Amino acid sequence: MTSKLTAKQRLLVAVTLFGMFFGAGNLIFPVHLGQLAGKNVVPAMIGFIITAVTIPILGVAAIGNTHSDGLHSLSTKVSKGYGYFFTCLLYLTIGPFFAIPRCATTSFTTGVEPMLTQSVNKSLVFVHLFFYLFCLGFIFLTATK
């Protein structure tokens, strides 16, 4: 069943894709990258365009071309074991390995660390408390539904 999208649906898809890929990193990082690159700004721009623009667009195109329901159904086209392995690895990479520690570090360095003296380093306590409260909040929200 193939149908064409209306103008309203196209606008919704465009805004959704824009919101999904454009974040603070895509606003701040290119400027910082350009400052660090110095005379090598053109190779840095090419690398950024390939890694931060082209690869995510190719990922969306791959899901669209294969008519997959998501990452797992796309990766099981290689093999069933690879599908489970890759999906678990990607979700762990996105969440517990990078995004969640980044949230704790950012909130600590911007909200707590400026109020501490140099001799006091309570980052480990803060991170544990942060995740404990985060997990309790998640359990509370899921239990009340």
3-state per-residue secondary structure call for 12-81: HHHHHHHHHHCCHHHHHHHHHHHHHHHHHHHHHHHHHHHHHHHHHHHHHHHHHHHCCCCHHHHHCCCCHH
> Can you tell me whether residue 118 is helix, strand or coil?
coil
Assigned token pair, 5: 């999208």
Average pLDDT over residues 61-85: 89
Give helix 41-49 / helix 24-37 axis angle, nearest 10°: 150
pLDDT band with cut points at 50, 70 and 90 for residue 1: low
Average pLDDT over residues 132-143: 70
pLDDT in tens, 24-66: 677 777 888 888 898 999 999 999 889 888 988 898 888 888 8
Sequence-distant (≥ 6) Cβ neighbours of residue 19 within 8 angstroms: none
pLDDT in tens, 85-137: 999 898 888 877 887 777 777 777 777 777 776 655 566 677 777 777 777 77
pLDDT band with cut points at 50, 70 and 90 for residue 145: low
Assigned token pair, 114: 């400026």
- Cα-based distances in Å from 102 to 37, 55, 128: 24, 23, 13
Residue spans of the domains in the chain: they are 14-67, 71-145
pLDDT at 20: 79
